[in-house]
Amino acid sequence: MSDSAIPTTDVASIPEVIPSDVVVLDVREPHEWAAGHIEGAVHIPMGDLPSRVGELDPSKHTVVVCHVGGRSARVTAWLHAQGHDVVNLDGGMDAWERAGRQVAR
């Protein structure tokens, strides 16, 4: 799957307060999560996702985030192929923080 086929969004397209009908899935490692994450996000490290995918509702709009967007792009492609309503956050947490968005620690 080429990058252009991966559903993607940018920080500007995401409301400051994440709507209740949107899931933010953070696929970074535990130490990255602890350093700061989006308030209300679900944390499932990329390596754990195959065994934990059942925790996600395929019909809920899900925004996938990692540090800069590489891992989340791969996860987005994988979930999308399985029928999940999912988009990759372009630029990841780096873009989120650069945009001055709130980070939970």
**CB-neighbour burial class of residue 44 (10 A; exposed 0-12, middle 13-18, buried 19+):** buried
Among 66, 77, 86, 87, the active-site one is 66
How many CB atoms lie under 10 A from the CB of residue 25? 26
- Bridge partners, residue 43, by sequence: 26
Cα torsion angle, 50, 76, 58, 37, sign:
positive
Phi-psi region of 83 (alpha: psi -120 to 50; beta: other; left: phi over 0): left
Residue 57 among the catalytic residues: no
Q: Which residues are catalytic?
A: 66
